[in-house]
Amino acid sequence: MIVLGLTGSIGMGKSTTARLFADEGVPVHDADATVHRLYAGEAAPLIEAVFPGVIRDGVVDRRELGTRVIGRPEELAKLEAIVHPLVRRAEADFLARERGGGRPLVVLDVPLLFETGRAGAVDHVAVVSAGEDEQRRRVLARPGMTEETFAAVLARQTPDAEKRARAHSVIDTSRGIEAARDQVRALIAALTHKG
């Protein structure tokens, strides 16, 4: 079973591309979705203990948490120390389940694959990119996003050019969904020796 690590910087199209793999029947583990689940469950009391007042109706309020950690590296590090081990456990459980399933290929969607030093822990690294101008347009179009927040997130991420240089393959999302789908299909075929 080949484990493909799918990654990419903010707004480059990683979640959209992960769905394209799922559309092709490839099992995908989504780290962001795991974080959402954890914030409504077992991580909530752990986070409240370090960041009092961030829970609303039993669930971590991401907007509020974001104001406490984005642009504050020491605070973000405290959050990551809680969240990342739980996400890794969920990924390990996913891989253990899939290893018995006979699938040729699975995807780990990991936003911080390079930043957390895990690019060497997967068989193939695919980086999603759209170029920095398109990235900026997409991110600044999000409600509530500011130049300052964008800059603070980027400062915590390995630069896109470095990600592309270190990846085994690059998926370009700047040319629309169908062009990205073609690239995903070609990559699946290449990795599973089909087509």
Binding residues for ligand COD, rule: CB under 6 A, are 10, 31, 35, 62, 65-66, 69-70, 76, 79-80, 83, 87, 111-112, 153, 156-157
Gap between the Cα atoms of 49 and 46, Å rounded: 5
Of 3, 10, 47, 70, the residue at the interface with ligand ATP (CB under 6 A) is 10
- CA 36/CA 90 separation, integer angstroms: 12
Residue 62 contact partner, candidates ligand COD, ligand ATP, none, CB within 5 to 8 A by sort of partner: ligand COD
Contact 45, 82 (CB under 8 A): no
9 annotated among ligand-binding-site residues: no
By CB under 6 A, is residue 116 in contact with ligand ATP?
no
* 130 to 149, 158, 160, 168: CA distances (angstroms): 20, 15, 9, 17
**Strand 59-60 versus strand 55-56 pairing type:** antiparallel
Q: Per CB under 6 A, does 180 bind ligand ATP?
A: yes
Q: Does 111 engage in binding with ligand ATP (CB under 6 A)?
A: yes
Name residue 58's amino acid: G
Q: For residues 161 and 183, what is the distance between their CA atoms, to the nearest angstrom?
A: 19
13 touches ligand ATP by CB under 6 A: yes
Residues placed in the known binding site for ATP = 11-16
Rule CB under 6 A: which residues touch ligand ATP? 8, 10-16, 111, 138, 173, 176-177, 180
